[in-house]
Amino acid sequence: MKRYLFIVLLAISFSVQAQSNTGNYKYIIVPEKFSFLKQVNRYGLNTLIKTFFEEKGFTVYFDNAEIPQEIATDRCKALAADLQENNTMFVTNVTLLLKDCRGAVVMKSKPGKSREKEYETSYNLALKDALTSFNDFKYVAGNPSVVSNQAPTNANAEVKTTPLPVNQPVAAKTEAQEALLYAQPISNGYQLIDATPKIIMTLLKTSVEDCYISNSGSMNGIVIKKNGNWFFEYYKNNVLVSEKLSIKF
């Protein structure tokens, strides 16, 4: 029971850490040219990224532009965008990264893919596909807000948590989630998608078999297998909620 409670606390602490890592950034720096391309703003990818995050409320600059004194003297106040390419013979495949001033990856998109033959069209479609991972990533002036389906990459950082009451009732969620979710492997666990496909939840591996730290975007908890069934368990108003899931690995 103590180990089970520890995992729940750990899941909540990851949520706190993710907010602290991404919620305080107002600025994003976009390079004028990505390393795998030879020309500035090739295929309009750099402009596409800049426009996307500006629409999310961020202040975005190209790295060759004049930037305000606030971030010129302290680049740690800004995130830096980077685009990685992993193409195959028939598929354009790009991944967008947001890094802090030390080069650590704070947010990472899913691989954006396109099978179009024409380069400009293919790269644009692949990037737009990758950017869907950031649909809920936004900045509101005076109240930064980040909601992401991607797991925080520095999940091993030390955080302080306040223990939750041990003897809390367990509330079984009345509306069972009947839709089948498909588990797609990621570097440190899985992402659960529906038939749309849409990312519903992220699962992070733990040292306990069949137990994952989970983030559904609005709730953080654990996904655990009990008696052959999967359950998403989280605290709501100090009550432990247990929601049955149908997952295909």
Contacts of 140 (CB under 8 A, 6+ apart): 57
Residue 238 has pLDDT above 60, yes or no: yes
Q: What angle do CA 16, 19, 23 make, to 5 degrees?
A: 155
pLDDT band at 148, cuts 50/70/90?
Answer: very low
The predicted model scores a pTM of 0.52
Closest CA to 107 of 71, 82, 142: 82
Lowest mean pLDDT among 52-61, 127-136, 190-199, 227-236: 190-199
The mean pLDDT of 91-111, rounded to a whole number, is 90
Q: Where are the domains of the chain?
A: 2-20+162-248, 25-143
C-alpha to C-alpha distance for 137 and 106, rounded to whole angstroms:
12
C-alpha to C-alpha distance for 51 and 171, rounded to whole angstroms:
44
pLDDT band at 32, cuts 50/70/90?
Answer: very high
* 25-143 homologous superfamily: TolB, N-terminal domain (3.40.50.10070)
